[in-house]
Amino acid sequence: MRTLSTGMSAAIASEQAIGAWLLQVSLTSTFYYTNADVDIPYGGNKYISRGFEVTEIQQSANFSNDLATIEFDNVGREMSALFLAEDVANKTVICNLAIINANTYQVSAAAEMLRGYITAWNIDEEKASIKLGSEFMLWSKKTLRLPTPNCPWSFKGTECAYAGDSDWCDKSPERCAVLDNYVNFGGRKFISDIEGQKIFWGPRGY
């Protein structure tokens, strides 16, 4: 989330100003939408007029839980086709608040309010909505499995892919090398190598 500059606040207060959202949705291709009544040129791109609203904007103290929901009109199924054509999870959406001159329909000021990732979507006969999460949420992710110095794969399984004559493996990197299958080793050998070692940082080894 962002706070508005003094100039932006003054533009909003102007009697000739119209407020509108400018969305940049970066999927396989980049789409530009505005909820203004007409198409809006801005930053070298044409923002296509489309019915939508930005709701449920939330901000946390550490920015990791910044959220917003964007609801698109979906009567013509255009948004359904867009969301179902590819995996949209974690794709970037930039929400800009623009102040537009009511006479010329030119953008007089704009501010980025949220840059987020698509975390969920929902489609029905009338609406297509996406939920956005802040980029800071990536720092809060937890791994599905802990790194280990031994191989986690099942011997001769899909990931292991060993097809030789041996019928045993202790899942150590040494055994994997003996079997000439180290290219498929799934462990993290360096973890045991640095265990208990003193780590130095910087050019002087502080």
Is the pLDDT at 140 greater than 70? The verdict is no
Question: Does the pTM of the predicted model rise above 0.75?
Answer: no
Residues 6+ apart with CB under 8 A from 65: 58, 59, 133, 134, 137
Average pLDDT taken over every residue of the chain: 82
CB burial class (10 A; 0-12, 13-18, 19+) of residue 86? exposed
Report the CATH number of the 6-140 domain.
Answer: 2.40.10
CA atoms of 43 and 170, how far apart (whole Å):
59
Domain ranges in the chain?
6-140, 142-195
Q: Which of 57, 28, 187 is nearest to 132 (CA)?
A: 57
CA angle (49, 50, 56) in 5-degree steps: 125
Rounding to the nearest 10 degrees, give the CA dihedral for residues 191, 143, 150, 163: -140
Residue 12, SS3 per DSSP: helix
Is the pLDDT at 128 greater than 80? The verdict is yes
H-run or E-run covering 122: strand 107-123
% of the chain at pLDDT higher than 70: 74
% of the chain at pLDDT higher than 90: 39
pLDDT tens digits, one per residue of 61-111? 655 556 889 999 998 888 989 988 888 888 999 999 999 988 888 998 888
Residues making up the chain, counted from first to last: 206
pLDDT tens digits, one per residue of 170-194? 999 889 999 999 999 988 766 555 6
Instruction: Give the residue with greater pLDDT, 53 vs 12.
Output: 53
Q: Which of 110, 109, 174, 186 is nearest to 145 (CA)?
A: 186
Instruction: Give the residue with greater pLDDT, 42 vs 206.
Output: 42
Assign 3-state DSSP to the chain and report helix, strand, coil percentages, each to 5. 15, 35, 50
Predicted local confidence at residue 39, as pLDDT: 95
